[in-house]
Amino acid sequence: MTDIQKWEWIVGKRVQSIYDMIKAPTYLMVYRMKFMHAIWAHLIKLVHKYRKNRMLLVGYLYGILLPLERHFSGKEIQTFINRINSKERMDTAIERIVNIQWEKDVRTQGKLRQSIPIGAMKNYNGGGVGCVGGHPRG
């Protein structure tokens, strides 16, 4: 088995496992063979194009395969895949996938301002919080 054949086998196995994971959306379920075949064909082209440069090959292959696996396993949702409901949207999604244009979950750390002053939260009359006139039942 040559190096290219090994990579083709690896790509085929990974694509098959992703194919088996596809459960939604409905349009994609119906046309999942066409969807995955287009991606598989692009991956095979990459195997032949970058057969001499293993680092580039691994980067491109797993840059496509891993986000697809994470999406279909529910770990990292790509909304453009979930919105596939026509041939045009499927073609657009395939184009984004093969060009490695994934949505990134960017989380920023911010500060939450306190809207209630500290003095309003202190209990000066000895009753429970929210009680009228210090009496527990109002």
Quote the CA–CA distance of 60 and 50 in Å, as a whole number: 9
pLDDT at 117: 65
Burial of 132 (0-12, 13-18, 19+ CB in 10 A): exposed
Average pLDDT over residues 73-81: 91
pLDDT (tens digit, 9 = 90+) per residue, 12-39?
Answer: 999 999 999 999 889 999 999 999 999 9
Q: How confident is the model at residue 10 (pLDDT cuts 50, 70, 90)?
A: very high
Is-contact 97 68, C-beta < 8 A? yes
Closest to 100 measured CA to CA, from 78, 75, 84: 78
pLDDT at 118: 63
Q: Which 3 state secondary structure label does DSSP give 105?
A: coil
Average pLDDT over residues 69-98: 94
Domain boundaries, the chain: 3-98
